[in-house]
Structure 1
Amino acid sequence: MKPVSFTLRSIKAVAIAALGACVLLAAPASHAERLKDLASIQGVRQNQLIGYGLVVGLDGSGDQTTQTPFTVQSVISMLQSLGVTVPPGTSLQLKNVAAVVVTASLPAFARPGQTIDVTVSSMGNAKSLRGGTLLMTPLKGADGQVYGIAQGNVLVGGVGASASGSKAQVNHLSVGRISAGATVERAVPTTLGREDAIYVELNDTDFSTASRVVDTINRRFGPETAAAQDGRVIRVRAPQISDERVAFLGALESLHVTPAQTQAKVILNARTGSVVMNQAVTLDACAVSHGNLSVVINTQPVISQPAPLSGGQTVVTSTSQIEIQKDPGQVLLLKGGTSLADVVKALNAIGATPQDLLAILQAMKAAGSLRAELEII
């Protein structure tokens, strides 16, 4: 048997090979997301509700009735419905009442008796809703039907105080929230279980992602279970029995799908100078020149006084100095196929500010070098 000898070179080779194997084993698989994060089930949605009501019990911070007559009208109507008659011509000076708009979202499959959260927002000139109580307010949907009734104590996350012309305020005082402040009175009809199929709608239209979703569903539940109707809607056959359908939808939402790479896009906010680019943005070969030109005009007064006993008058004139400053421009060559990180690094290298990027990226797009959709908001 021949003795086995190890050299330093062979030990390094073995170590590098082992390290490479560990890296390959530890490397994560391609990023996959749950189907419930990429799409929604058609018909499973929220419905917006709105109502008009009154908040009472405020500590003198309610609406000024002379400027918000609708608050007085609402109080009079409420009192009449409760059997209290206000004599005609009575001028109500209310300080503890505020007219508000109540909004809520009715979740899918909500049933009468369930409770939902509501948001209470002042619509007059009330200083604060802190400590107030919302009176019974019907919440209506887009069809005009009442789907809930809201009432309860308003919780405001801010605080404020004023005295002798001084004022201090923390957070917002004109909007509050009531947890479980509304009771559902009517259910929204659903068509989820009336057909032999359901429809999965992707959050973003993408034909590649739709195709991958169809392949994943068919591998899990059998061939011809799913079929894409377009780049957004996918038809999926589902069981007819409600219990089996719920279990099927639960398993369907838990499927992991690797979405396709999104479209290259650059978002420009001209008001704030913000620039956001995704990782798919690339460049073709181009040259970028950047330089600043500034003009400074300085005007100073000059007083001219006559000699003593000359009979002249003092004259005030002005002299202006104009200075033009031009920073040396830099020409930077960007090679084709540049990634997002290289684009940002290159633009930072030439000293481009966010406002400069707006003009530079628009020029790149006009020159055909920017391989991305340019959207200005």
Structure 2
Amino acid sequence: MTVRARFRWVFALILALGFASSAVAQSVRIKDLVEFDGVRGNDLVGYGLVVGLDGTGDGLRNAPYTEEIMTNILERLGVNVDGEQFRPRNVASVIVTATLPPFARAGGRIDITVSAIGDADSLLGGTLVMTPLTAADGDVYAVAQGTIIAAGVAVRGEAAELVQGVPTAGVIPSGARVEREVDFDFSQLTQIRLALREPDFTTAARVERAINDALGGSHARMLDAGTVLLDLDSGKAHSPAHLISNIENIAVEPEHRARVVVDQASGTIVMGRDVRISEVAVSQNNLTLRVQEAPLVSQPNPFSDGQTVIVPRTAVGLDEEPGPALALVEGGTSLSDVIAGLNALGVSARDMIDILKSIKAAGALHAEFVVR
């Protein structure tokens, strides 16, 4: 089986599974559709120093801030370096980022990302020295330290180098300890807003209806396409946390806009099941352009004063594969009909992207067209 045949077989299997499952309503939990107002993470950032690098750190002559932070750290440790001239290549200045999750408590651990900001070649094998992480309010909420796991490899020689991945960035799993908690009392809330990740009036109405049916009353109220207000006082649970745990696993069938997403770099095409195409005629030809150079060398007679001249000769040809002038793509009532109509043209995925663009421009593609 060729690669092309295998791709067609896998693509047909995916479509078959997709159409089989679309016959049954696909329900999604409310917790996967909405964000609960107030239940969110907070971004943290810090500036630190990585030590222990194998000669791949910052050149301190080009990154004086690295020398400054190293001097400050050594002085806090009781080492006097005033007037000293040191140029180590085993240290690097970095920016440390992390997200403080909701309801994080003091003593808990969070993951961090470390990124070089100087001219360091690699952070592989380095150790991050104790770095405070602050939030937007300027307060320190966590302290980071640990050995970096770099995501790439860099090998350099005298005349060549090989870099794979990004060795100047890495992560430290559970590399920061939470030192300060966010002041937020969830148990005192009387109302909470459910923000839909993809605003849609139909989905919001279904979320409202599903919550009220499950709790038996008018506890939820749709405010707009992206917001559902939940009254926590009217719930039957012992606390707001219990009420949220009761409703977040309620299944709702979300509504999605018809959308076609194409990636021109890889030739990938993804269509939603609600995509429709009106009846349209499409013409697509495969052209092959040939340019062949065959220069002719003209030499003078022996013992003459002439010069050798190269006369350019170019042969240009254009081949067009025979095929129908127009192919009719009938109006599709489902995604399977749309795919069948486009596959009938016998074109590649990249050519199909151009065809879909033209169909959209003609007003026959009834879906949002997204190009990445």
TM-score per shorter chain, which class? Answer: 0.7 to 0.9
1:46–1:105 CA contact under 8 A, matched in 2: yes
Is the counterpart of residue 198 in structure 1 residue 195 in structure 2? no
Q: Which amino acid aligns with 2:284?
A: H
Provide the C-alpha distance between the structure 2 equivalents of 1:334 and 1:308, rounded to a whole number of angstroms: 69
Provide the C-alpha distance between the structure 2 equivalents of 1:345 and 1:171, rounded to a whole number of angstroms: 40
**CA-CA distance at 1:40 after TM superposition:** 2.0
Secondary structure of 1:360 counterpart = helix
- Correspondent of 2:34 among 19, 36, 39: 39
- Give per-residue Cα distances to partners, 1:113-141, cap 9 Å, x unaligned: 22212122222232332332211111011
Q: Which amino acid aligns with 1:32?
A: S
Is the counterpart of residue 265 in structure 1 residue 259 in structure 2? yes
Provide the C-alpha distance between the structure 2 equivalents of 1:285 and 1:28, rounded to a whole number of angstroms: 24
Provide the C-alpha distance between the structure 2 equivalents of 1:99 and 1:156, rounded to a whole number of angstroms: 15
Structure 1 residues 243, 50: closer, same or farther in 2, change over 3 A? Answer: farther
Aligned twin of 2:16: none
Structure 1 residues 335, 40: closer, same or farther in 2, change over 3 A? Answer: same
1:197–1:238 CA contact under 8 A, matched in 2: yes
Provide the C-alpha distance between the structure 2 equivalents of 1:320 and 1:113, rounded to a whole number of angstroms: 76
Structure 1 residues 230, 122: closer, same or farther in 2, change over 3 A? Answer: same
Provide the C-alpha distance between the structure 2 equivalents of 1:133 and 1:314, rounded to a whole number of angstroms: 68
Off by >6 Å, runs of 4+ in structure 1: none
Provide the C-alpha distance between the structure 2 equivalents of 1:161 and 1:309, rounded to a whole number of angstroms: 59
Aligned twin of 1:4: none
Provide the C-alpha distance between the structure 2 equivalents of 1:298 and 1:99, rounded to a whole number of angstroms: 55
Aligned twin of 1:324: 318
- Give per-residue Cα distances to partners, 1:324-377, cap 9 Å, x unaligned: 222234321111134323333333332323332332112111212111111223
Structure 1 residues 49, 319: closer, same or farther in 2, change over 3 A? Answer: same
- Give per-residue Cα distances to partners, 1:207-256, cap 9 Å, x unaligned: 11111111111111122111100111111111499952211111111111
Aligned twin of 1:284: 278
Aligned twin of 1:213: 207
2:121–2:154 CA contact under 8 A, matched in 1: no
Provide the C-alpha distance between the structure 2 equivalents of 1:184 and 1:83, rounded to a whole number of angstroms: 27
Provide the C-alpha distance between the structure 1 equivalents of 2:127 and 2:346, rounded to a whole number of angstroms: 56
Aligned twin of 2:12: none
2:154–2:164 CA contact under 8 A, matched in 1: yes
2:142–2:176 CA contact under 8 A, matched in 1: yes
- Correspondent of 2:241 among 246, 252, 255: 246
2:299–2:308 CA contact under 8 A, matched in 1: yes
Aligned twin of 1:133: 127
Provide the C-alpha distance between the structure 2 equivalents of 1:45 and 1:106, rounded to a whole number of angstroms: 9
Structure 1 residues 335, 74: closer, same or farther in 2, change over 3 A? Answer: same
Is the counterpart of residue 183 in structure 1 residue 193 in structure 2? no
Structure 2, gaps ≥5 residues long: 1-21
1:102–1:119 CA contact under 8 A, matched in 2: yes
Aligned twin of 2:86: 92
Aligned twin of 1:108: 102
1:54–1:97 CA contact under 8 A, matched in 2: yes
**CA-CA distance at 1:264 after TM superposition:** 0.7
Structure 1 residues 127, 243: closer, same or farther in 2, change over 3 A? Answer: farther
Q: Which amino acid aligns with 2:91?
A: V
Q: Which amino acid aligns with 1:140?
A: T
Provide the C-alpha distance between the structure 2 equivalents of 1:120 and 1:137, rounded to a whole number of angstroms: 11
Provide the C-alpha distance between the structure 2 equivalents of 1:194 and 1:129, rounded to a whole number of angstroms: 46
Structure 1 residues 222, 240: closer, same or farther in 2, change over 3 A? Answer: closer
- Correspondent of 2:55 among 60, 77, 84: 60
* Identical aligned residues as a percent: 39
1:285–1:335 CA contact under 8 A, matched in 2: yes
Aligned twin of 1:363: 358
Aligned twin of 1:375: 370
**CA-CA distance at 1:80 after TM superposition:** 2.9
Q: Which amino acid aligns with 1:295?
A: L
2:153–2:164 CA contact under 8 A, matched in 1: yes
Provide the C-alpha distance between the structure 1 equivalents of 2:148 and 2:218, rounded to a whole number of angstroms: 53
Aligned twin of 2:138: 144
- Give per-residue Cα distances to partners, 1:6-29, cap 9 Å, x unaligned: xxxxxxxxxxxxxxxxxxxxx995
1:58–1:96 CA contact under 8 A, matched in 2: yes
1:192–1:198 CA contact under 8 A, matched in 2: no
**CA-CA distance at 1:286 after TM superposition:** 0.7
Provide the C-alpha distance between the structure 1 equivalents of 2:24 and 2:271, rounded to a whole number of angstroms: 25
Structure 1 residues 306, 56: closer, same or farther in 2, change over 3 A? Answer: closer
1:193–1:240 CA contact under 8 A, matched in 2: no
Task: Specify the structure having the higher radius of gyration (Cα).
Answer: 1
Provide the C-alpha distance between the structure 2 equivalents of 1:268 and 1:227, rounded to a whole number of angstroms: 37
Provide the C-alpha distance between the structure 2 equivalents of 1:200 and 1:303, rounded to a whole number of angstroms: 79
Q: Which amino acid aligns with 2:140?
A: V
Structure 1 residues 192, 233: closer, same or farther in 2, change over 3 A? Answer: farther
